Amino acid sequence: MRRRIRGLAGASILLGTLLGLSGPQGAAAQGAKPFVFTGIPDQDESRLVERFGKVATYLEGKLGVPVRYIPVKNYPAAVTAFTNGQVQLAWFGGFTGVQARKAVPGSQAIAQGAEDAAFKTYLIANAATGLAKGADFPKDADLPKSADLPKGIAGKTFTFGSRASTSGRLMPEYFIRQAYPGKTPEQVFERVGFSGDHSRTIQLVQSGAFAVGAVDYSVWDLDTKAGKVDPKAVSVIWESPTFPDYQWTVRGDVDAAYGAGFTERLKAALVGITDPAILEPFGRTKFIPVTNAAYAPLIEVGQSTGLLD
């Protein structure tokens, strides 16, 4: 496999009537069927509200229908909401997108961040471990059979993000298994945890609750810029090979519900976002078109790690 990989149980959906989480209720909202979307809760809740509230307002203006964002409790809840038709659109991670599209035939990945075509995981470590960043993988080289993970991580406490996270679980577990053939993460590390989201992973490693963790590089950058990372307490010790990640996935029945061509209008609206106030909370420079085929490699990785049937 090349270094750059090209490619749920009951939901706990929070009330969609929380103030400030839906699009504006103007003329477009009168008598029209709301278009509802969600996103995986991959970081700080306040940032999610800012991010998706702006998207709802923008899409409502472009699509001419009321657009509402509803938050979900965890990654599986986002997939379940999509599967059950409670939302028509979702901002998924690479792996949750694969799960959702498998559960809902006809659904499509329509847009991803420009950065998502070549996403990365960071391994971060508490300063007390003494672990430091070594050589990264050479660009565009074949992924070696034994991944060049930092020496000394074995035997430490380790936290992933969500169990269904691409950059916080699926891909780091794959690389760990490559580096330690025949061993699971539970056999490599003293203790393995799941923080639930990337911001929480950073906090847990920074506090010393876990020695090492796997985190979405874009959330690390956002939290660093927000002053939430203490460089004296935690640092990046490894950068992964690249892989496809986040994307907007829409159900295949939206044209029937909202009119012919609605999916294409939605895709054009997402790709057409240029406002930095919308893009910056995502940690993205722009959104670009994408198709389901781009995420085929994640199916292979999911199956090889036993995380996908």
Task: Give this prediction's pTM.
Answer: 0.82
Residue 269: count of CB within 10 angstroms of its CB: 18
Judge whether 307 and 95 are in contact, CB under 8 Å. yes
Residues 6+ apart with CB under 8 A from 72: 11, 12, 13, 14, 38, 39, 40, 41, 78, 81
What does the pLDDT look like over 159-198, one tens digit per residue?
Answer: 999 999 999 999 999 999 999 999 999 999 999 999 999 9
What does the pLDDT look like over 82-125, one tens digit per residue?
Answer: 999 999 999 999 999 999 999 999 999 999 999 999 999 999 99
**pLDDT for 296:** 95
**pLDDT for 148:** 78
Scored b (16 or more CB within 10 A) or e, 7-19 reads bbeebebeebeee
What does the pLDDT look like over 135-147, one tens digit per residue?
Answer: 444 343 444 434 5
Calpha distance 295→97 (Å, rounded):
9
Tokens of 181: 């053939």
Calpha distance 248→109 (Å, rounded):
6
Task: Examine the pLDDT at 21 and tell me if it is beyond 90.
Answer: no
Residues 6+ apart with CB under 8 A from 15: 70
Stronger pLDDT, 267 or 304, i.e. the higher one: 267
Residue 193: count of CB within 10 angstroms of its CB: 16
What does the pLDDT look like over 210-223, one tens digit per residue?
Answer: 999 999 999 999 99
What amino acid is encoded at 85 in this protein?
G
Domains in the chain: ranges and CATH: 27-116+245-304 (3.40.190.10), 120-239 (3.40.190.10)
Calpha distance 204→4 (Å, rounded):
29
